[in-house]
Structure 1
């Protein structure tokens, strides 16, 4: 079974305790409940979330959590005791955030940015605020000007580090007059630029057209091509960073666009670049 994730299952048998399910990935698990709560029939195929009960036994639920194992989330602290914090993740049993996985002192009602994982030692599903090692460093599918969802996880007087689309990381520089941002705040943002080492600089407002395309449309490529006199020395041979710097998009997106323009007979693709027809 995939603990901490949504599993496809078949109703194997019905008992007074609930429904025993045969999981598509192997094994069986109990879905507690009776016909007064919901009605299932033998052989029915359903999707359930599999986690552990208070005695660390695998158990299924039809409820959907706010995050599964392998995902980031912004969650609220429901309780703090001598062993750690417990987070509301949309299920009856709260998500455990051990003290050793925390970055600072938490109190009831605080919001925190966490990654959900299965603890290697205990086998339990837990959360960690130490999220940096789980962030995706490959930003090739992002482009300058792209609208993204942000979640602040580190706040300083000068900058705020944010999750970008709950997958990447970026930095928002604080400027005079900006509203204060707290850990756990979520907001829309825009990719302003990429630094030489591939890191993302963010802005809360869309950027203008300043020698860099902010659109992925074929028309925008044609405008840049015409402004260059009908020829641009970019194509399959061009490295991804050059494409990102010149066009504000990934090489994958650029290749799709020039492929569309070629099929529409608006450009010719040569060994050394692209030329307007």
Structure 2
């Protein structure tokens, strides 16, 4: 009987506490489930989630929600996202007609972030594996939705950057797309901004990026770039020479910037000038060194 009540509660009750932390009263149980009552609704809890033995009349505290099968559930494993709790959740599904589904830690329920909150250009929507900072909301039908964290919330959790962070490498998540540029929050909770001139393509909302700090603003926001440092942007010639070195048993080649042009042309199919430029960029990047007529990799 309890299973029937649980499966069909939505037809008889309004679960206006969907997504909230509650304390319910145990009313029954079987081998797998514990059933409890709260405001006339029967909620089911997997016994595997409960550490102690419970009897009828005991209290059980947990997160109440309606799962993807429209069943009332109560889990003592509190998800990281709540009505008043913001956290990152991973995007697990994309529906162009609805929005994106985000995993907040529930075993049988993902939370939808409506397409109304997503960019107009679908190519800038999050992909599976991207992440969004959200909290929960409940609509007039008591259904749970994910709401993107607003600017005030992002700023409230952010740290103040310091000038000493200039030139650091950072990992960051895109939380806002604007005409002026891309706004991100680093993994260490610093605010960052990427001007369009510092990227090859506009990142997606929720995309996790590798960036470098090119400046620290007086307000503590990091100016970031997605472009490599000059010495990291090695040419095709340099990449080819590097590959030859890496595949050599001795990690070296019997050529330097003093080698004979014809030998260089015969071996690498490039001019001596191009060879010298490639070696120069690799030495600047501290990837190679030259001595005694050879060029070798630096460990």
Normalised to the residue count of structure 2, the TM-score between the two structures is: 0.46
Relative to its length, the structure with more helix (as a share) is 2
